[in-house]
C-alpha cells in the first residue's frame, strides 16, 4: 500500500520494457493482494529492519507455511517497506489467517517478531487490493526474475469510474503494439481511500526506466493526435491525484516459494544471510496477510 503513483502523461504507466515477452515461467498476478506497509523510524531501516524481519521469515520457514510473501523497499519517497501476500479469493485469505491463529507455535513466534519489529516502526497499515484484468496489459510476467516495482497510486474523482476505465483502455491501445509494455492494475477494496487504483510495473533492472522514457513517440503515434487529445481531456477530468515511486525487491525480508528460489537461488537465498527472508503472507493481527 505504498504510495504507488503513476506518471499518467507518459508511457511509464505501461512499463514498456523491451526484454519482457511471455516467458514460459510467466506468472499471472493474484486476484486478491494483501499489502502491509511499514514506515520505519529515522535511521531504523536497512540492516536493522532486515534483522527484525528475519524473525518472521524464520518462523514461517520452521512452520513450513504454504503462504508466501514478497517484500520490497522504497527507493524514492519516505523510507518504508511493503509486504505483498497473494490470494485467489478473500475466502482464501480468511482461511490462511485463521490457520495461523490456530497454530500456537507459529502465532507465538509471530507475536514475538511483531513486538521486536514494532520498536523500529513509526507507523504501519494494511490494505486489500483486487485485480482488474480488464484494465491491465500483459500482466503475466516472470516475477521471480524481476528486481523492481514501479508502483503508481491514482485517486479518481467521485463518480468518474467509467471515465477512468476509458482512460486505462486508451493506454492499452497506445501500448498494444509495443511488445514490452505490461502492467497489472488493482482497485482498492479496503484500507485506502475509495476511488484508489494501484498500478504495478515490474522491471528486471533500472535500465528499463531509461528504455521506457524513449517509448513515448511510439505511444503517441499509436493513439494519434485525436487519441492524445482525448487522453489529456480524460486525465484532467478524472484524476484527482497520482504518485509514482520506485521499489526494490528485498530477498532477505521475503518469504518466497521454492519455485522462486530454484528459479534464481543466488538472489532469493543469498549465501551470506540464508536465514533472513521475511513476514507472513497473512501477516496475522498487526501484519495480517499481507502507496
CATH of the domain at 145: 3.30.70.100
Assign 265 a pLDDT band (cuts: 50, 70, 90).
very high
The whole-number pLDDT of residue 176 equals: 86
- For residues 213 and 174, give the distance between their C-alpha atoms in angstroms, rounded to a whole number: 15
Q: Greater confidence, 81 or 212? A: 81
Q: Given a cut of 90, is residue 234 above it in pLDDT?
A: yes
Inside any domain, residue 216? yes
The pTM of the whole model exceeds 0.75: yes
pLDDT tens for each residue of 158-196: 999 999 999 999 999 998 888 778 899 999 999 999 999
pLDDT of residue 216: 73
60 vs 19, residue with greater confidence: 60
Mean pLDDT to the nearest integer, 65-92: 97
Q: How confident is the model at residue 16 (pLDDT cuts 50, 70, 90)?
A: very low
What is the model's pLDDT at position 93?
Answer: 97
In a domain, 280, yes or no: no
pLDDT at 169: 95
pLDDT at 97 over 80: yes
Please check the confidence at residue 91 and state whether its pLDDT lies above 50: yes
Let me know if residue 291 belongs to a domain.
no
Alpha-carbon distance of 291 to 278, in angstroms, equals: 20
With respect to residue 203, please indicate whether it lies within any of the assigned structural domains: yes
275 or 262, higher pLDDT? 262
β-strand pairing of 121-131 with 32-40: antiparallel
**What is the tally of structural domains in the chain?**
1
Task: Please say if the pLDDT value at position 272 is more than 60.
Answer: no
pLDDT attached to residue 120: 96
Mean pLDDT computed over 141-154: 96
Q: If pLDDT is split at 50, 70 and 90, which confidence band does 81 have?
A: very high
Question: Has residue 4 been placed in a domain?
Answer: no
What pLDDT does 213 receive?
76
The answer to the question of residue 286 being in a domain is no
**Full residue range of the structural domain in which residue 128 is found:** 11-273
- Evaluate whether residue 160 is within a structural domain: yes
Give the tens place of pLDDT for each residue, 122-137: 999 999 999 999 999 9
Q: Percent of the chain, pLDDT > 70?
A: 84
- The answer as to whether 186 is a domain residue is yes
Instruction: Please state, rounded to an integer, the average pLDDT across all residues of the chain.
Output: 86
Of 22-26, 75-79, 92-96, 219-223, which gets the smallest average pLDDT? 22-26
What is the arithmetic mean of pLDDT over 93-113? 97
Amino acid at each position: 500500500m505504498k504510495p504507488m503513483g503513476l506518471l499518467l502523461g507518459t508511457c511509464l504507466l505501461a512499463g514498456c520494457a523491451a526484454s519482457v515477452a511471455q516467458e514460459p515461467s510467466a506468472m499471472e498476478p493474484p486476484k486478491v493482494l494483501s499489502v502491509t506497509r511499514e514506515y520505519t523510524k529515522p535511521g531504523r531501516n536497512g540492516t536493522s529492519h532486515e534483522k527484525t524481519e528475519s524473525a518472521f521469515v524464520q518462523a514461517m520457514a520452521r512452520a513450513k507455511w504454504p503462504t508466501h510473501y514478497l517484500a520490497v523497499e522504497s527507493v524514492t519517497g519516505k523510507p518504508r517497506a511493503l509486504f505483498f501476500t497473494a490470494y485467489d479469493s478473500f475466502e482464501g485469505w480468511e482461511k490462511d489467517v485463521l490457520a495461523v491463529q490456530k497454530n500456537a507455535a507459529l502465532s507465538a513466534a509471530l507475536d514475538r517478531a511483531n513486538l521486536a519489529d514494532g520498536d523500529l516502526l513509526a507507523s504501519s497499515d494494511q490494505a486489500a487490493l483486487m485485480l482488474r484484468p480488464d484494465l491491465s496489459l500483459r500482466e503475466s510476467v516472470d516475477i521471480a526474475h524481476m528486481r523492481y516495482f514501479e508502483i503508481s497510486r491514482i485517486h479518481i474523482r467521485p463518480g468518474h469510474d467509467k471515465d477512468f476505465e476509458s482512460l486505462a483502455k486508451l493506454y492499452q491501445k497506445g501500448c498494444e503494439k509495443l511488445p514490452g509494455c505490461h502492467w497489472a492494475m488493482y482497485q482498492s477494496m479496503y484500507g485506502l481511500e475509495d476511488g484508489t487504483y494501484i498500478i504495478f510495473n515490474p522491471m528486471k533492472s533500472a535500465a528499463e526506466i531509461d528504455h521506457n522514457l524513449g517509448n513515448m513517440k511510439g505511444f503517441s503515434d499509436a493513439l494519434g493526435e485525436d487519441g492524445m487529445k482525448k487522453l489529456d481531456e480524460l486525465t484532467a477530468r478524472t484524476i484527482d491525484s497520482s504518485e509514482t515511486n520506485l521499489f526494490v525487491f528485498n530477498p532477505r525480508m521475503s518469504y518466497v516459494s521454492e519455485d522462486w528460489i530454484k528459479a534464481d537461488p543466488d538472489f532469493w537465498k543469498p549465501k551470506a544471510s540464508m536465514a533472513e527472508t521475511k513476514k507472513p503472507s497473512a501477516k496475522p493481527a498487526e501484519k495480517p496477510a499481507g502507496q
